[in-house]
Structure 1
Amino acid sequence: MSTTRVFLVDDHAMVRAGVRAELGGDVEVVGEAADVATAVTGIRATTPDVVLLDVHLPGGGGHAVLESLRTELPTVRWLALSVSDAAEDVIAVIRAGARGYVTKTISGADLRDAVRRVAEGDVVFSPRLAGFVLDAFAASGPAAPAPAEDPATDPGLDLLSAREREVMQLLARGYTYREIGGRLFISVKTVESHASNVLRKLQLSNRNELTRWAATNRLL
């Protein structure tokens, strides 16, 4: 399996050094930048698999980097890593195209896992952030009414047990297997079994597809 190529964007050199150390040998750091202009140039030159992107940057902020390159470099995945957990910061960078958002309180192991998951096409949120991001998008979305006879619920939902529905919703909100087990008082192995059943019954391939499915069917 090839090593994930990562580009770091943060305006503090000490933070970049710390992130690089935490990532260790699990990834290849192909470049760094401290402002929008340097980030755009560096990312364009290296075409990394994942960009770890701070939200607040000189020259326009993290969303400006995304808006400059998202269409030009469609294979690059973007993961926001910020000290901020303010709703407006999270929503701005997600709307610009980031695949996830984690705060700098994240552990090294969880950061490495987040980078891996984003590289594989998943979406990743710190659990507390996932709920209000989804709420914000729901609140600001179009208010077109659904037909009375169509509750916008996939028939596949009927195939899920009550417990599988609980696991499905927590998975779609970004919780880890361990966190789901803690909330539902079941083992991680049991969570994994339920998650596998959910994806199989709904004919979905990964958590990213599950999140979209759950949002489409108004289950978040």
Structure 2
Amino acid sequence: MPEVSPDVQPYFDAGLGVTSQIFAELQANPDIMRAAVDMLQQRKGQMLRSALQMFGRADEMEPAYLFAMDFVDFFPKPWSGILSKLEGHKRMSEWNKEVDRYIETMHDPRNRIDIEVESKIGPHGGPLYRFCEAEDCDKVEGRDLDKMKACSQCQLVFYCSKECQKSSWKAHKDECKLKKHPPQQLHAQWLMEQLMVGMSGVAGM
């Protein structure tokens, strides 16, 4: 299980008391627990935003991602090697359809590609538009170039150019050999992962 980022830890610490109380009340009353599960299925995005607000991170969450969560029955995350390619493509289609619906109905003033970059997923469960992982480079597929280049050895890290790959090799070298680099995630997926790790710890899981 991933560790909570040091940057996020203070926010979790500040909200542990409230979260512990919520879990205690749910565990003490099965009826409330069942009602909470039903509500979670129907309002996953809204409940996730409320949980992030407790930890002071709600403003970082992509609204199109939260919108889509309320209309699918899964939580998108990198699932290569876990789901079949057919299921991965099916979930990608379902999820991205809801992101398109958000763009068409919610009157978000941002450019369409900027919303898609932050919220759409590929068949692998990670970002549909890969981003360059070199330090201080913010280039993204679909907006800044057609396609990123994967590291030829581990195939887990992506760069926009040979220059970015070369500048990052020293930091990437050790984990490349062991293929330990985590798959790319949307920032929204990373936030959700951090939240789940923190709440799991509070619940004693």
Determine if the TM-score, normalized by the shorter chain, exceeds 0.5.
no
TM-score, with normalisation over the residues of structure 2? 0.29
Higher relative contact order (CA 8 A, sep 6+): 2
TM-score, with normalisation over the residues of structure 1? 0.27
